[in-house]
Amino acid sequence: MNLLYSLDLLGTAAFAASGALAAIRRDMDIFGVMVLGLVTATGGGTLRDLLLGDTPPFIFKDETYLYLSLAVSLLVFLFHRNLGRFAHPLTFFDAVGLGTFVVIGTGKALDFHFGFIGSVMAGVMTATAGGMIRDMLSNRVPMVLQKEVYASACLAGGSLLTLLHHIGVPRTWSLLASAFTVIVLRLLAVRYNWSLPRARYGQAHH
């Protein structure tokens, strides 16, 4: 599906930009910026393919993803001072990437006959594991585990796709509906500053 491939590349570029920016904030050199851009954009899908046993992972079968991630990271390295004006589009493209990555991951796991929860996990992992590796390489607790409703949007989209698959909805429609769900939930979460409940450990124990 050409639309899905285009959205996938758009999301890859947005994720690479976010990884490169994180590296710049951590005062990494140009190699670190390119590695973090690459890992953020392609780490989730690579881990998914390793777990599916589909090796070599997609990035080595279609090097477009590698060239795109590295080119975006380089551009961010060179022009990061002028990126302020792109903050709004970046948030939007990032949400598009999130939705696309979830449905690609979950869809692939369904094709590999994974169970319900395994398929949802594959989608969530495709969308979030790259950012987790980025944060681990930056010596930080992964943002997705602490601060944002990033993951819930992915869970909702992955679950919807798995459900639609099992009740027999044609793949094209279920992919579009699920990706759309993730994107809208994510943008609403950013807009209204939603957050997930936490256990308030400090409050209970001090």
**Residues within the interface to a second copy (CB under 8 A):** 23-33, 35-36, 46, 50-53, 55-57, 59-60, 63, 66-67, 70, 77, 80-81, 112, 114-118, 121, 132, 136-142, 144-147, 151-152, 155, 195-199, 201-202, 204
Residue 175 near residue 4, CB atoms below 8 Å: yes
Of 33 and 172, the one with the shorter C-beta distance to a second copy is 33
Cis? peptide before 56, omega within 30° of 0: yes
Shortest Cβ distance from residue 68 to a second copy (Å)? 11
Residue 108 near residue 122, CB atoms below 8 Å: yes
Task: Return the DSSP state at 85.
Answer: G
Return the exposure string of 99-131: e unless at least 16 CB atoms fall within 10 Å of the residue's CB, then b: bbbbbbbbbbbbeeebeeebbbbbbbbbbbbbb
Of 89 and 147, the one with the shorter C-beta distance to a second copy is 147
Shortest Cβ distance from residue 6 to a second copy (Å)? 21
Of 86 and 176, the one with the shorter C-beta distance to a second copy is 86
Shortest Cβ distance from residue 157 to a second copy (Å)? 14
Shortest Cβ distance from residue 94 to a second copy (Å)? 18
Of 63 and 168, the one with the shorter C-beta distance to a second copy is 63
What's the gap between Cα 112 and its chain centre? Answer: 21
Of 138 and 174, the one with the shorter C-beta distance to a second copy is 138
d(CA 135, CA 146) in angstroms, rounded, equals 12
